């Protein structure tokens, strides 16, 4: 199965796992001081649920005492090429030779993530080489990001698609990004008056089904206070927690079956 097929299936905001695997795959070669230079969906292969990075035809190793590499010509697939990949061997505003390094791969990753979210690459509306060259190498060109439900996902793409290569996050930073590692609140709060709202709705919809009402009542009691006899000050061991979860799961299954029977009747 090719990466193109895998990414097409998972297009959209929720493909968290595949995004993580992509970052981990590229991180592996970057740790070996290798720049791939042609990252695109077709170069990711899904093997038994695990993503593999392939096609190192134009990859190049970074010397141990450098962070960038210099190439003889532009390389890579246009829609995923970084600004510096288009301008390699030219000089920047400070007179320095423009080189490609890990940040170039990060840009390509950003284009892939963008495609997974929106179904197209950031510069897909520009059809010719020169049209893409003009906008990608223009530091003032603004990439359009349509709204997404998770603002951290938007931020993750922007961290990869910063025009200045020095401003792009490295993969170790990206792996700790809040989109991939959501902050855990110190305390979880549950509004007491809303905890059994779903059960109330179910009970109201099947008020003529005594068995369903009884199951709803049992579930409501367990969710409200799982401690026997209302001893709220008594802690519950992990073993007891597992048993309670199992009991809740069984009650939910029975309620689901009863609702199905109720609808058929």
Tokens of 195: 């905890």
Q: What distances in angstroms separate CA 240 from CA 103, 195, 216, one per listed residue?
A: 50, 21, 21
- Nearest-Å Rg of the Cα atoms of the chain is 26
Tokens of 200: 């109330």
Active site residue 209: no
CA atoms in the 13 A half-sphere facing the CB of 90: 10
Secondary-structure breakdown of the chain: helix, strand, coil percentages, each rounded to the nearest 5: 50, 5, 45
Instruction: Name residue, tokens 């007179």.
Output: 95
Active-site pick, 38, 92, 138, 225:
38
Residue 105 in contact with residue 35, Cβ under 8 Å?
yes
Phi and psi of 45, rounded to 5°? -115, 130
d(CA 53, CA 39) in angstroms, rounded, equals 9
Query: Annotated active-site positions, please?
Result: 38
């Amino acid at each position: 199965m090719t990466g193109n097929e895998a990414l097409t299936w998972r297009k959209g905001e929720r493909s968290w796992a595949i995004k993580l695997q992509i970052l981990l795959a590229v991180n592996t070669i970057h740790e070996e001081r290798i720049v791939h230079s042609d990252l695109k969906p077709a170069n990711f292969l899904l093997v038994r649920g695990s993503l593999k990075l392939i096609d190192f035809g134009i990859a190049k190793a970074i010397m141990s005492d450098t962070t960038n590499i210099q190439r003889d010509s532009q390389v890579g697939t246009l829609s995923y090429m970084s600004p510096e990949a288009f301008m390699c061997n030219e000089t920047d505003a400070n007179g320095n030779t423009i080189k490609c390094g890990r940040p170039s791969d990060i840009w390509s990753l950003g284009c892939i993530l963008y495609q997974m979210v929106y179904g197209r690459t950031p510069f897909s509306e520009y059809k010719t080489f020169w049209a893409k060259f003009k906008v990608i190498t223009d530091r003032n060109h603004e990439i359009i990001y349509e709204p997404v439900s998770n603002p951290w996902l938007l931020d993750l793409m922007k961290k990869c698609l910063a025009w200045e290569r020095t401003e792009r996050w490295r993969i170790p930073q990206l792996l700790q990004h809040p989109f991939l590692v959501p902050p855990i609140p110190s305390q979880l709060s549950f509004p007491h008056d809303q905890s059994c709202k779903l059960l109330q709705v179910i009970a109201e919809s099947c008020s003529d089904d005594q068995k369903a009402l009884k199951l709803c009542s049992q579930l409501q009691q367990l969710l409200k206070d799982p401690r026997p006899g209302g001893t709220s000050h008594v802690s519950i061991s992990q073993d007891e927690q597992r048993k309670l979860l199992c009991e809740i799961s069984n009650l939910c299954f029975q309620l689901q079956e009863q609702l199905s029977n109720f609808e058929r009747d």
